[in-house]
Amino acid sequence: MRLQDVMTPQLEFIRENDSLIHAARMMRDHDIGMLPVLEENQIVGVLTDRDIVTRGLAEAVDLETPVCRIMTTGVKVRHAEDDVAAAAKLMEQQQIRRLVVVDRNERCVGVISLGDLATRTDNTPLSGEVLAEVSQPTH
């Protein structure tokens, strides 16, 4: 099974200089916990609800701070044609809850999450295994 068959199509994104408050409102309005950060249609990072709390609020940054100050960089991506099991293995190894999915031109086209693995694949043991590995303490 390919990622494009089970991913959530990603229609929402933000830019590096968008404010934290703008990003938080987008997450609220679209009921999502992660936004890809794009510049010139290329992924430069992601901003998660956890980033906002652990890097933004915990450091008492201003709500107008650009997301580039707290976003996660070095984002792991996979291609839409890639195999779901291979992506799941990467999620396990890197303890990643969501992976950005790109097309052949490296444009963001979707996200594969633990929820997608659990609800959109017929491989329940796979999603349970990924969840167990991702949930391991990192200390």
Q: What is the pLDDT of residue 71?
A: 96
In 81-128, the DSSP E strands lie at: 98-102, 108-113
Position 41 confidence tier, pLDDT thresholds 50, 70, 90: confident
- Cα–Cα dist 112/93, whole Å: 15
Digit-coded pLDDT (tens) for 97-127: 889 999 998 888 999 988 888 876 665 555 5
Global confidence as pTM: 0.79
- Cα–Cα dist 96/112, whole Å: 10
- Cα–Cα dist 111/102, whole Å: 9
| pLDDT at position 93 over 80 | yes
Q: Domains in the chain, please, with CATH?
A: 3-134 (3.10.580.10)
Q: What is the pLDDT of residue 132?
A: 52
Q: Which helix (H) or strand (E) holds 44?
A: strand 42-48
